[in-house]
Structure 1
Amino acid sequence: MKISDISVSRPVTITMIIMAVVLIGGLALTRLPMDLTPEMEVPFLMIRTSYSGATPEEVEESITRPVESTVATIDGLSSLNSNSSEGSSMVFLEFEYGTDLTEAKNDLRDLISQVETGLPDSADEPRIMNYDPNAQPIMELAVAGGTAVELKNIAEDTIQPRLEQIIGVATAEISGGRSREIRINADQEQLSAYNLTLDQIAEAVRASNQSGGLGTVMVGNEEISVRALGEFENFEDLEEIEITTAAGDKVPLSLLADLEDGFQEVSSISYLNGQESIGISIQKQGDSNTVSVANEVRDTVAELNSELTDTDIQITTNNAQYIEDSISSVLQNFIIGGILAVIILFIFLRNFSSTVVIATAIPISVLATFALMYFANLSLNLITLGGIALGVGMLVDNSIVVLENIYRHRALGIGRLDAAKDGASEVATAISASTLTTVAVFIPVIFIEDLLAQLFTPMALTVTFSLLASLFVALTFIPMLSSKVLKVNQNESDESVKKKKYVIYYQKILNKSLKHRYKIVAAFLIFFILFGAGIALDIIPLETEYMPDSDQGTIRVFARLEGNSTIEKSNQLAQDLYSRIEEIPEIELLTARVNSGRVNLTVELLPLEERDRDISTIAEEIRSRSKNLPGVSINVSAMTSIIGGGGGMGGTAIEAQINGPDLDTLLNLGENTENLITDIEGIRNIDVSLERGNEEIHVGINKTQAQNFGFTSSDIISYVNMALSGSTISQLTESGEEIDIILKLKDNESTSLRNLSNIKLFASSRVSVPLSQLATIKEGTGYSSIERENQQRYISVGADIFERPLGEVQNDVETVLAEELNLPSGYTITYGGEAADMSSSFNQLFTAAILAIILVYMVMASQFESLIHPFIIMFTVPLSIIGAVLGLIITGTALSVYGLIGAIMLVGIVVNNAIVMIDYINNRKEQMSRKEAILEAAPIRLRPILMTTLTTVLALVPLAIGIGTGAETQQPMAIVVIGGLLFSTLLTLVVIPVVYDIVDELRNKFVRWLLKIVHKEEVTEE
């Protein structure tokens, strides 16, 4: 028994099944996690090794190179990058997608253990770390309304504990502010006079700040613990410490150093709208819902602001707000699209009950999709909801075909039950095939690599779930409901349909087309060839980009002072920048973080609906207002990517990478590259990765001399670091607060080259040795960091783009550098960034599109049990490609990854109308001639074809317009589908019947010719 027969015969059963689907789907919707994008696992591991005091060159030679050469043999490695900076080596390993990172990490530990023994003694043990793109803070808070000291205390005592009590919050990390600390500023001359060192002071302080158990005593019948209490109780206790000299004399600490009870030195300053502030970063627990946690934090911040009346706590960055707004926008577009689809149904059907019957397919299919998403561990995000929104019009397509056929049977006078059964079963094969063709196009997504697979596989699953659900509804619920409530106008028979004006007009066009069939096909082929040539030769302009920009309302300004600088100079720069941009009307919040030589501004804009200008235009104004600052380099970056920036790992739009052995040569080539591309239209924010470091003092340790006195390099580095920068040697606990005790030389005694040379260390023989005897001390410059890729040094020159397509700018950059950049022997140039990602992604998606076309053909061949009929139907694909490209050009939209995904979807969608038409022609051809069957079937299928096309198109119009937060990401897909579907449908109504007529005639001639040959051979044999 057919499924439609069962559904009509068992209405209660079908109703209960549908109610169960609705119930489970509604429950699943409340439990689906909500995020901006699908959870993505990036196959990256990092190896971090600290080598305190070493220059970038020393780090590269002693740490980075040995580690690289050892780990380069690990299985599954895709690329190997490293960064050697002062005192630190970072080695980045990118693995092929699908690699088991747990196993790779274990293999990496084994390899590291082999190289570890050969690393310098003073280097720390290499640490292997995962890179987790999902581990970024979900919110940033700024706290203002007091001094840095007061704000830090309020944050630690009140704000942080309250935030970390929220379910789902992992940490609330405080940055900035000043804490109380005790400083021991030692006098080098006094130390020399008494032949003492900093280590002896540190040892004496620790020894005087001890508590511990002494044992137990019996008091009566009880054993009581005895504990010595020798810890510092207050600051004055430090003044009583005495240091014992080699001669046995006791020297008061106050005689050797200035003791200061104060606060941390200012190393950074934060601002909120011009007021000094501190920051708090909110990190959620791994499995928590981002939006739920953010809402709880927002409520807690509101409570804290009402309680702490003198303190202003502002949410400066809220990823969850963008997620909420984006998802709300997609849902709104989805609802509007669904309403438009229903209106189109009513216009065509002019029957309220029929419209209601079909309209029920949308909510039922969507709720079924939510249920399947829940069981498949998917989340509600821009990608999955975008998939549902893209398919909302298609959810009624199957139901339209079924209902229209049931409606036609009822108009012929057939009874309700039989009409429902026969009408549904008659088209069941066709709509099943059309659904499978749409689903089949997503199978090649499995073969896509990189982040694309993780980004679009959830979308493929979502669309597949929704379409299969709609097919189930069309074959079960629609026939059952039609048999109960459908009211039919008896004048809606096939004959009456043919008398409608638009059908008569179509019949005339079709009849003329069949008479001039070869001209029609020739015209189509010529047009397709000319159009393709126009695209290939750039006669028809088609812009390209990697991902559509998404206005997230955040702009970051990075400013760097050239040369050595102080926190005071940086603070002045921050004030200058603030005064230049604070009057821009779209700015809602302005935060700043000031460090020595660097200023980072974060500009939060008003919500999108409250401003007239987009984020890129505002960023350009900030860039214009911030230029012409002497000795300052400015980088203004608008946050526009939902997956974190280009280049895969947050790179730039354009990136030229020059590889070679010599750093000086690389730097010159990098500077030349910067000069050559500066004047290219659309280039912004040029950044050269390799730069000379500031003037510095190099302490070259004489290892032989150091060993003669019993020192290791680590001993010297540690001691000098304590002398210059200070070291925490102990703590004072007062009123429950732990206060660090810092030991260092007085600033005026460690800042000059001569005083640095006179820093004394004590050898094991108790001999005082000046640093100048253990190391060569001289002024010089070096490189701030050294970058390598696949064990070769390189320099990268990156840039962002503005108001020009990525593809055009990349072509200009490559042309200019190929013509004017002279590369010495042994130096090569490659290109990365978003442009390289775009090229790689496009190639993969083009391959996926070809596979999709092949799979669609296979599905249709299986349905028709024919190789010829699917070939005819495939003529809709080039028609749709022309329409999709025209849609992009007319709307001024660039072809992006999202657009290509839409094109792949289009392959499975555009064949559906042709499948139903060819299937109907084949059925009619059994009773009449080929031409009569075409002229009979095509007009009858005209209305359902127009209905399915227009419902799909109009449902996508809200997405194509791109209204609302985050809508930019779905817009290219919607435009491609609309353009391709409209163009292909209009021509399909003519081209497919014409091609069918030609191909079927040729096939019949070939069969007759073949039979004639066979017949002749039989006669000859006789």
Structure 2
Amino acid sequence: FGVMYLAGFSINNLTLMALTIATGFVVDDAIVMLENIARYIEEGETPMAAALKGARQIGFTLISLTLSLIAVLIPLLFMADVVGRLFREFAITLAVAILISLVVSLTLTPMMCARLLKREPEEAEQSRFYKASGAWIDWLINGYARLLQWVLRHQPLTLLVAIATLGLTVVLYLVVPKGFFPVQDTGVIQGISEAPQSISFAAMSQRQQELAKIILADPSVQSLSSYIGVDGDNATLNSGRLLINLKPHAERDLSATQVITRLQPQVDKLVGIRLFMQPVQDLTIEDRVSRTQYQFSMSSPDAELLALWSGKLVQALSQLPELTDVASDLQDKGLQVYLVIDRDAASRLGVSVSTITDALYDAFGQRQISTIYTQASQYRVVLQAQSGETLGPEALNQIHVKTTDGGQVRLSSLARVEQRQAQLAIAHIGQFPAVMMSFNLAPGVALGKGVELINQTQKDIGMPVGVQTQFQGAAQAFEASLSSTLLLILAAVVTMYIVLGVLYESYIHPITILSTLPSAAVGALLALLLSGNDLGMIAIIGIILLIGIVKKNAIMMIDFALDAERNQGLDPQTAIYQAALLRFRPILMTTLAALFGAVPLMLASGSGAELRQPLGLVMVGGLLVSQVLTLFTTPVIYLYFDRLGRRWRKEPQRLEPVEP
């Protein structure tokens, strides 16, 4: 929290997600240190000697674990656009928490172990729980040893499993739907109403109230606020706003999206008004109030061409079942009155154009003709025709104008009234006329599918090159993130490879460590696929974190295997076998710690929980699958790369069978 304060961060959804995930990470280093010291105490060392020896042996491993995990977060700091700015707080908060945990694990944890841990009690002094837990761990280790021996005797088969895992990762990545941010249920729904462009204020008010009555009758709705009129949000008179407050989650059975689905058929029955609804989101990158969640813009120097093709595209997209609430903000059906003057008649009667203009302004323009002053205030006197005479275009026939000889003639005798259609508002993008289209996705349809359908529909209808199209808001950010997602993951892998290469002074061992990543990706993508979630930005962040987590299994195995080869003279197969058994307990403990840290995110409920659930799903699925596979594939890949390295260096092979 101190670093967050100094950096100017707030406690928000992203920093809270980082702190929640950190609860499973910050104990990892301490677990590894504590387990190694406890192992020496179990072998008969005094707590002080065990602390010194265990800390000295495991220190480099902890540094490798932590630095490689922080290296994975570095690409998040350099993400561009709005998404990068959003996740910068997440990455920095998590990295600082992990770094502090490393310092504590290398200093405070060994000291506390030396002072607080005791020698292993005699068998007669051991409690039932101590005996039961010890027997259970021994049973797991013995079972793992038997399976590992079988795996080492069938190394080609295990290698094929590892390669198949990599292939399955590619297949799942192509199959899993792509999205952006999950839709949250914050308990608030935003509604934008739209009526015919020629509607009056009174008629709009009546229809808006009818909408409010239908919405308030829903059992999940608690209250709402409604307003119409031209202001900062409403550019035209025929649109309105509603903010619908739902009851607390405990008092309703439906989510905000389901409430919208239930309300939509009821409000659609109203004639002369249409309502667009969407849940209000905690995390959004939109810079404007829109009818729907996603927008698509069209612009062209030719306004008529733009109007023609925007209508064609709206009509084509409205027929797609994957898209809902398709509409455009083109407002070119407003009613406008033109007064066409018969100049010959006006000249014959001695009526000038300025005289006609003054008469119209006197009747409709609220001309100020005087001011009444009092001791306390002043009042403006405004000229205005009687309200009953200005209700429609026919009121123009009741206006009289003065002629040059002082007489009065009806305006209708020298001018006629024409009604035409005109645009109520004109939007621009890059100084060109533009139309903003809006759309929602049908339930179960990912944003990636919607973007693909819109692009394909443009090609099908033959959109001319004179009309420029582009996604806006969340859809635009999704397109940008989709192209950079693989680059982001690749950058995380390359960064971690460089850090591990520097730490191990080897080109081969980092590849062995990185071989654990496909198994985590398979578990993460399977979890998303089975739960019906799409691969959005939150899930991508979870996969990047998995890259930093799952490699710890390989790091702990390889560190101890290399130490056994150098200091004990063991051959690679025996060394990796012993290292795998020796590190099985801390691997199990650290994986469970990270797993339990992610479970609250996966099972989260309440307002906005949908934003955090993909992160928990990805981490739980990835940790479960990687824990099972890497315990067996890592030793085999280590041996294959060891042989490759020796062959490259032209050293003799040193292989000995593992004794059963």
Under TM normalisation by the shorter chain, which class is it? 0.7 to 0.9
1:387 and 2:18 equivalent?
yes
Structure 1 equivalent of residue 35 of structure 2: 404
Q: More displaced, 573-582 or 652-661?
A: 652-661
Opposite residue 924 of structure 1, the aligned amino acid is A
Structure 1 equivalent of residue 150 of structure 2: 512
SS at match of 1:403: helix
Structure 1 equivalent of residue 622 of structure 2: 980
8 A contact 1:666–1:795 mirrored in 2: yes
SS at match of 1:796: strand
- Which of residues 844, 860, 865 is equivalent to 2:505? 865
Opposite residue 904 of structure 1, the aligned amino acid is I
SS at match of 1:476: helix
Alpha-carbon separation, structure 2, partners of 1:485 and 1:382: 38
Alpha-carbon separation, structure 2, partners of 1:412 and 1:721: 102
- Which of residues 519, 522, 544 is equivalent to 2:178? 544
Alpha-carbon separation, structure 1, partners of 2:463 and 2:325: 24
Structure 2 equivalent of residue 450 of structure 1: 81
Opposite residue 805 of structure 1, the aligned amino acid is A
Structure 2 equivalent of residue 554 of structure 1: 188
8 A contact 2:169–2:521 mirrored in 1: no
8 A contact 2:172–2:525 mirrored in 1: no
8 A contact 1:646–1:652 mirrored in 2: no
Q: More displaced, 1001-1010 or 935-944?
A: 1001-1010
Distance 1:645 1:999, change over 3 A: closer
Distance 1:483 1:693, change over 3 A: same
Opposite residue 423 of structure 1, the aligned amino acid is G
SS at match of 1:500: helix
Deviations 1:767-805 (A, max 9, x none): x9x999xx9985422112223333433333221123122
1:375 and 2:6 equivalent?
yes
Structure 2 equivalent of residue 893 of structure 1: 533
Structure 2 equivalent of residue 614 of structure 1: 255
Structure 2 equivalent of residue 151 of structure 1: none
8 A contact 2:189–2:243 mirrored in 1: yes
Structure 2 equivalent of residue 1007 of structure 1: 649
Deviations 1:245-296 (A, max 9, x none): xxxxxxxxxxxxxxxxxxxxxxxxxxxxxxxxxxxxxxxxxxxxxxxxxxxx
**Alignment length (residue pairs):** 622
8 A contact 1:560–1:599 mirrored in 2: yes
Distance 1:712 1:553, change over 3 A: farther
Alpha-carbon separation, structure 2, partners of 1:543 and 1:942: 36
Matches within 5 A, 1:565-580: 565-580=199-214
1:934 and 2:568 equivalent?
no
Opposite residue 551 of structure 1, the aligned amino acid is D
Q: Which has the higher helix share?
A: 2
Superposition RMSD on alpha carbons, in Å?
3.8
Deviation, structure 1 residue 699: 7.1
Query: TM-score scaled to structure 2, two decimals?
Result: 0.85
Deviation, structure 1 residue 676: 1.5
Opposite residue 501 of structure 1, the aligned amino acid is W
1:501 and 2:139 equivalent?
yes
Deviation, structure 1 residue 415: 2.2
Opposite residue 171 of structure 2, the aligned amino acid is A
Q: More displaced, 414-423 or 513-522?
A: 414-423
Alpha-carbon separation, structure 2, partners of 1:414 and 1:986: 32
Distance 1:577 1:750, change over 3 A: closer
Structure 1 equivalent of residue 265 of structure 2: 624
Deviation, structure 1 residue 742: 5.0
Alpha-carbon separation, structure 2, partners of 1:737 and 1:475: 79
SS at match of 1:859: helix
Alpha-carbon separation, structure 2, partners of 1:504 and 1:696: 87
Deviation, structure 1 residue 553: 1.5
Alpha-carbon separation, structure 2, partners of 1:512 and 1:640: 55
Alpha-carbon separation, structure 2, partners of 1:881 and 1:776: 74
Deviation, structure 1 residue 722: 7.6
Deviation, structure 1 residue 621: 1.4
1:724 and 2:364 equivalent?
yes
SS at match of 2:543: helix
Deviation, structure 1 residue 400: 0.2
Deviation, structure 1 residue 684: 2.0
Opposite residue 433 of structure 2, the aligned amino acid is R
Alpha-carbon separation, structure 2, partners of 1:561 and 1:532: 48
Alpha-carbon separation, structure 2, partners of 1:771 and 1:473: 91
Deviation, structure 1 residue 948: 0.4
- Which of residues 45, 57, 61 is equivalent to 1:426? 57
Structure 2 equivalent of residue 435 of structure 1: 66
1:951 and 2:593 equivalent?
yes
Opposite residue 147 of structure 2, the aligned amino acid is I
Alpha-carbon separation, structure 2, partners of 1:728 and 1:449: 56
Opposite residue 366 of structure 2, the aligned amino acid is G
8 A contact 2:277–2:292 mirrored in 1: no
1:523 and 2:161 equivalent?
yes
1:914 and 2:548 equivalent?
no
Deviations 1:477-517 (A, max 9, x none): 2112112111342689xxx9998111111111111111111
- Unpaired segments of 5 or more residues in structure 1? 1-369, 702-710, 762-767, 1012-1022
Deviation, structure 1 residue 882: 1.3
Deviation, structure 1 residue 870: 0.6
Alpha-carbon separation, structure 2, partners of 1:880 and 1:618: 36
8 A contact 2:191–2:241 mirrored in 1: yes
8 A contact 1:658–1:830 mirrored in 2: yes
Q: Which has the higher strand share?
A: 1
Alpha-carbon separation, structure 2, partners of 1:379 and 1:815: 42
Deviation, structure 1 residue 751: 5.7
1:823 and 2:466 equivalent?
no
8 A contact 2:40–2:54 mirrored in 1: yes
Distance 1:958 1:498, change over 3 A: closer
Alpha-carbon separation, structure 2, partners of 1:388 and 1:489: 35
Deviation, structure 1 residue 623: 0.9
Matches within 5 A, 1:441-840: 441-489=72-120, 500-533=138-171, 535-536=173-174, 538=175, 542-595=176-229, 597-632=238-273, 634-644=274-284, 652-698=292-338, 724-726=364-366, 742-748=382-388, 779-803=419-443, 804-819=445-460, 821-824=461-464, 826-840=466-480
